Structure 1
Amino acid sequence: MMSKAQEKLSQELIDLLQGEKIVSLITTDGETNQPNLSVISWLVAHPEGDKIKFAVGHNAHSAKNIQGNPHLVLGVIGAESCYSITGKGTVSDVIERTMKLRVITVDVESVEDVIFYGGKITQEPAYEKTYDPNLAKKLDDEIYALLKE
């Protein structure tokens, strides 16, 4: 368990954040100025632990929010705990592949272990994609190639 906030991701979190994880994304809504929560799974942490890239649909509310206010929080469950990763995001132009998307690059500012006292995660959340498996593979391959650039 981390005792204080770190300025970049630990190796364990870098290894964990190589895609196909359920990650909470908190941005600030541009109209209401209220927190906005969404969930992402296409993400890759940079090997140095100072950046995370993730992809969203080209019209995603979260991308518009980040364009208006770059401060964001990523909530991660894994590596036996829960982590709050704060940073500033920059949003790419629309990228056209099988689907239109945007890539958000997050400059990590702090990483904090935020699980309650005495808590330990014993099983990570799991999910499955409910659409065409061939399309899912094609999208995953295209998007992860972009995120690893």
Structure 2
Amino acid sequence: MAKTFDALPETLIETLKKEVIVSLITVNSDHNPEVSAVSWVLPSNDGKKVGIAVGHKGSSMANIQKNPNVTLGFFADESYYSIQGSASVSEIIEKTMKYRVITVDVKEVEDVIFYGGKVTQQPTYEKTYEAELAEKLDSEVHELLVEYLK
């Protein structure tokens, strides 16, 4: 039987505090699912919210404004997890670049790996733009997400 929670357990909070790839699934205007890969993600300390920083022009924002139901998917603890929630979108925030923050109120967290499956290697990625800029943006976004999760 799949493990379900009404908030993120501590191990999943710690995973999401690292740079991991998270799938953000929204519903578009044609009522079809639309997926985006995001990495600027931060959970609240109590595991009841997840903040996501994105560029200000993405289609996910329009989708959420029309239908706030979202799903987040990510690898953790040798498995794959789904977060079901209701999302809201901030106004445009101008810093080094223009951002918006998506705040997801967690409704349910579920281990959704197929029966008998075990993830043996966490996906990794590298940033292909200037290292100094990447560090600046990461720091700026982290501070922004901390502020939104208060």
TM-score normalized by the length of structure 2: 0.95
Q: Which runs of 4+ in 1 moved over 6 A?
A: none
SS of alignment partner, residue 107 of structure 2: strand
CA distance in 1, matches of 2:33, 2:141: 27
**Count of residue correspondences:** 147
- Shift of residue 4 of structure 1? 3.9
How large is the RMSD of aligned CA atoms in angstroms?
1.0
Q: Deviations over 1:14-60 (max 9, x none)?
A: 11011411001100012x11100110000001110100000110011
Partner Cα distance (1:123, 1:82) in 2: 12
Residues 64-106 of structure 1 deviation map (CA, whole Å, 9 limit, x = unaligned) = 1111110000001111100010000110000000000100110
Long gaps (5+) in structure 1: none
Query: Which residue does the alignment assign to 1:71?
Result: 69
Alignment identity in percent?
A: 53
Q: Which residue of 2 aligns with 1:142?
A: 140
Native 8 Å contact 2:2 2:112 kept in 1: no
Structure 2's unaligned 5+ residue stretches are none
Letter in 1 for 2:42: V
Is contact 1:82-1:113 (8 Å) kept? yes
Whole-angstrom distance in 2 between the partners of 1:90 and 1:19: 23
